[in-house]
Structure 1
Amino acid sequence: MKYTVINTPLHNIDGVAKVTGRATYTFDVKLPGMLYGKILRSPYPHARILNIDTSKAERLIGVKAVVTGKDTLGIKQGIWRRYPELCDEEILAREKVRYIGEPVAAVAAVDEDTAEEALDLIEVEYEPLPAVFDPMEAIKEGAPQIHEGVERNINVTRHIEWGNVDEAFKEADYIREDWFKCSGQAHVCMETHCAVSSYTPDGKLTVWTSTQSPYYIQVLLAWTLGLRENDVRVISRYVGGGFGSKFELDSAQFCSALLSMKLCRPVKIVLTREEEFTATKRRTPMYYYVRTGVKEDGTFVARETRVFTDGGAYTSMGATALYLTGFFHSFPYKWPNYRYDGYRVYTNTMPSSAMRGFGAPQAIFVSESQIDMIAEDL
């Protein structure tokens, strides 16, 4: 029998377009009358915004519009819209900045150089506040409070348990406990975050953007800009890498849309590589405490795990990562008794979110490392 699918090589359906340069990415989009946007970002990890003076920037020849948080609806957004407590981020900060690189203003001009020059003319008056950069320090009594009303900066907790962990440890012949630290990681997509937004006088917004989820961007833009979802169209043709970093509403998408709504002209914003490293999302850094009990022959008896994640300044998709890492930590073995407690901690660093594996790389690295240690001990 001759197979047409099994044991038959299949060509990538968009491979020819990519290798011949015919694939059109957001970076390639050009529209008539299009303007270019740039974003002013906070130089402080934690500060109150006392005043933003945009008058000099607005007078610069070639500048068409400047927006700040005062031009927004002030909606705190997040990808999990059903849970208001997880929606804690304003794309353009109005009263307070919580990490270096947080957007505070955006400019639209006739070209990128003019927009960049205009950023230097925006005067922002800050009141610096104490900052904390490590989750283990952020949970201590007396640590700077990053979000009002969040005790000890712990904004999400997760618990997973089965069996009788405490009794099982009493039956273990050998118990080992260790701390592990897993660092963050930048996605480094070849195509940086970018968007071209075009708002028309009939109230319709079209956004070309590099995203892994056009639907999420559609609904989040509609929500934060006060538009109907049916009036927002998101187009994502080819994506130059995502790896989890392009699920959520970002500053290029929001600021280009806000500027376009003010001008009724297309606005394009492309983040620089520096902005990618300092002002987008990252893999979630984690502190892992693991206590494992085994029999003399190596049979697993019980495992207890506590995780403190460096959530950064905002929740993002970090609440999901907190649950998943505890779930994955029980893989691929059969643990008769297992207990996991996870704590997501605010810090004055860039927000942590999804990245390939979404909590699994940290969980499996820690698990396998300790199992190797136990095997060597036995």
Structure 2
Amino acid sequence: MTDRPAPAAPTSDPTAVPTVRLDLDGDLVDLTRALCDLPSVSGDERAIADAVEEALRAYPHLEVLRDGDAVVARTSTGRPTRVVVAGHLDTVPIADNLPTHVVGEGVHAEIWGRGTVDMKAGVAVQLALAAELATPTHDVTWVFYDHEEVAADLNGLGRLSREHPDWLAADFAVLCEPTAGGLEGGCNGTMRLEVRLEGVAAHSARAWVGRNAVHAAGEVLRRLEEYEPRSVEVDGLVYRESLNAVLISGGTAANVIPDACVVTINYRFAPSTSVEQAEAHVRELLDGYDVVVVDAAPGARPGLDDPAARDFAAAVLAVTGGVPAPKYGWTDVARFSAMGIPAVNFGPGDPLLAHKADERCPVSQIAVSHLALRAWLTA
């Protein structure tokens, strides 16, 4: 492996982020590492967005647009179809796992470090292809957006869909989220709820004059423990649901009977289920309790019956092998689905390693993902 290009010398301002020039025509490993090593924790995407914008503006076949820390580049060759290929620039906080390093050699080599899986390897593939493909089979809108790893109302793709929907207009979309190089259709919906329990405070030495709100959570937890999650077939793919308590809080002091307790629940539901149906399902299970929906987002059907999706699947699976699978987690394909654009997930990296301290991506998956997307866009 060659060492990646070094950043430019720092400016006189010791707090300034060194300017990094991304080489989109070079080695994919070097490009992935350069992207990972730039500051990009959610809310701090300016440096990486600047570097991506500067790199893309060097290619005359691309029109480059910018909104905040989201960068869009698109071809305009007059093709009858347009596709979006999208990926987010931000990561979750670093866990002492940067700068990146490479472990192993040849087909066994892996890039280790924050963002390698989620999702700088996919972004590197996007950038390399955006630079290379001046006359793709479809006109392509390449989207690189901010704030994916935080609250939904900050999401850069959501902002673009509200403020610049014309930038995202397309017949089909690919989100380069990590799928271990497989094709994953649609995604589950997600809902966060709170069960709010009330008691009566009292001194713990005279507990009988109070009512313990934390103890009242026992029945809620029992119902959740006994719940059998469903597996739901949607357009030929089987989505596994889950309903779990993820947080519990209550109490004010070690000698006070708690008068309030909150059980936070996360429900992942099949894309054939609406948000309203999902809420009704949870309320039925927890009948008799004060249930409050905190936030929710619908899922996305696989969309693999769409002609553009079938063409994509045929081209990609000819390179990667395998069969389409469901995406169990929620991804921004749901945003494209809400806009009436069929969308799938496809990118390098094992999603089970996303956000982990030992996050790492096989070099071979980056290469195969690049080859598969290139085959589709040049078929």
Which TM-score tier does this pair reach, normalised by the shorter chain? under 0.3
TM-score, normalised via structure 1 length: 0.25
TM-score, normalised via structure 2 length: 0.25
